């Protein structure tokens, strides 16, 4: 089957799984459930749950146990976008082609929807651990998720990003931000897929390395799209980095050199993938991430 068709099949499959876990919109706090569901159902690429699933398949073991973690990770990713769009951060009105959560539901609900999604993700994981056949692996997956999402991971990267506003950054600091802000959740997707599928410690080290490289390449492509992308295709305004005076790979090296760097990183990641096993779809997915238009 053609890659695009396989990709669409997987997105449909993942959206079905996500919908099974969404809260029912009822009760006195109905509005928060509406804001949570609005945010999650806005139609992203579902990249992180997809990668988690494909890495589990790479180790020949994609089972029921992975599904709650796929959903939890997408909820954490969504919360980060909801909060990132708030006026105190990037102050964006549009995301994924629709009004951002705080624009649709008001500022307080934007904050609360993000908080609720983060907590809901952990509620799902805790329940998954209780009912798991392999509680140790499930608890380890939970630890990876929490650490990669928190102050040692994504939140840490976002912190340095916010503090760096208006300052010109060196490559080292920029890499710190990208490895935490962007790579951490992609790395979590891969490590959790591997842990739940029973990968050994050596394999886990390689999986983490692969995640790191994919994350960095993905973020560099994000920098490139902010300059040469089409805002209608991306679903949000372009040239925001320049407007916000942000240092990016493009501001440091220009578009062409940035493309070369992201391509080289992705080739290294694919080298690791090939060493670990066979998953042609995952390889195509990695390649598509540096060719993507949104």
Q: Which residues bind ligand GRG (CB under 6 A)?
A: 44-45, 47, 80-81, 83-84, 96, 154-155, 158, 181-182, 219, 222
Rounded least distance, CB 241 to ligand GRG, Å: 9
Least distance (Å) between residue 26 CB and ligand GRG = 27
SS3 annotation, 16-68: HHHHHHCCCCCCCCHHHHHHHHHHHCCCCCCHHHHHHHHHHHHCCCCCCCHHH
Whether the CB-CB separation of 241 and 264 falls below 8 Å is answered with no
CB 235 to ligand GRG: min, Å: 8
User: 95 or 199: whose CB is closer to ligand GRG?
Assistant: 95
Choose between 101 and 203: whose C-beta lies nearer to ligand GRG. 101
Minimum CB–partner distance for residue 8 and ligand GRG (Å): 14
Nearer of residues 89 and 272 to ligand GRG, judged by Cβ? 89
Output 205 or 255, the one with its CB closest to ligand GRG. Answer: 255
Q: How far apart are CA 22 and CA 228, in angstroms?
A: 36
Number of residue whose CB is nearest ligand GRG: 44
Nearer to ligand GRG, 135 or 151 (CB): 151
Indicate the residue among 66 and 149 with the shorter CB distance to ligand GRG: 149
| Minimum distance of ligand GRG from residue 96's CB (angstroms) | 5
CB atoms within 10 A of CB 60: 11
DSSP 62-107: --TTHHHHHHHHHHHHHHHHHHHTSTTTT--SEETTEE-HHHHH-H
Q: Hey, which residues does 95 pair with through a beta bridge?
A: 98
- Angstrom distances, CA of residue 129 to CA of 19, 73, 107, 125: 20, 15, 34, 6
Closest CB 152 distance from ligand GRG, rounded Å: 13
């Amino acid at each position: 089957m053609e890659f695009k068709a396989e990709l669409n099949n997987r997105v449909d499959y993942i959206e079905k799984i996500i919908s099974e876990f969404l809260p029912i919109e009822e009760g006195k706090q109905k509005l928060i459930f509406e804001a949570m569901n609005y945010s999650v159902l806005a139609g992203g690429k579902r990249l992180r749950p997809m990668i988690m699933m494909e890495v589990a398949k790479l180790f020949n073991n994609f089972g029921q146990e992975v599904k709650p973690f796929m959903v939890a990770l997408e909820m954490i990713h969504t919360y980060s976008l909801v909060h990132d769009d708030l006026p105190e951060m990037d102050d964006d009105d549009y995301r994924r082609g629709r009004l951002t959560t705080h624009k649709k539901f008001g500022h307080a609900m934007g904050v609360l929807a993000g908080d609720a999604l983060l907590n809901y993700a952990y509620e799902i994981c805790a329940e998954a651990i209780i009912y798991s056949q392999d509680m140790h692996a499930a608890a380890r997956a939970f630890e990876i998720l929490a650490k990669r999402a928190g102050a040692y991971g994504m939140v840490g990267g976002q912190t340095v990003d916010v503090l760096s506003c208006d300052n010109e950054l060196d490559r080292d600091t920029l890499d710190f931000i990208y490895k935490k802000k962007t790579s951490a959740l992609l790395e979590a997707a891969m490590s959790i897929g591997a842990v739940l599928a029973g990968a050994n410690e050596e394999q886990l080290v390689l999986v983490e390395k692969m995640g790191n490289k994919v994350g960095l390449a993905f973020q560099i492509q994000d920098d490139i799209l902010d300059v040469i992308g089409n805002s209608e295709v991306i679903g949000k305004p372009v040239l925001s980095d320049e407007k916000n005076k942000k240092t990016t790979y493009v501001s440091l090296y220009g578009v062409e050199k940035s493309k070369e760097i992201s391509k080289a990183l992705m080739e290294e990641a694919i080298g690791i993938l090939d060493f670990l096993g066979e998953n042609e779809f995952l390889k195509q997915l990695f390649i598509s991430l540096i060719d993507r238009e949104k």
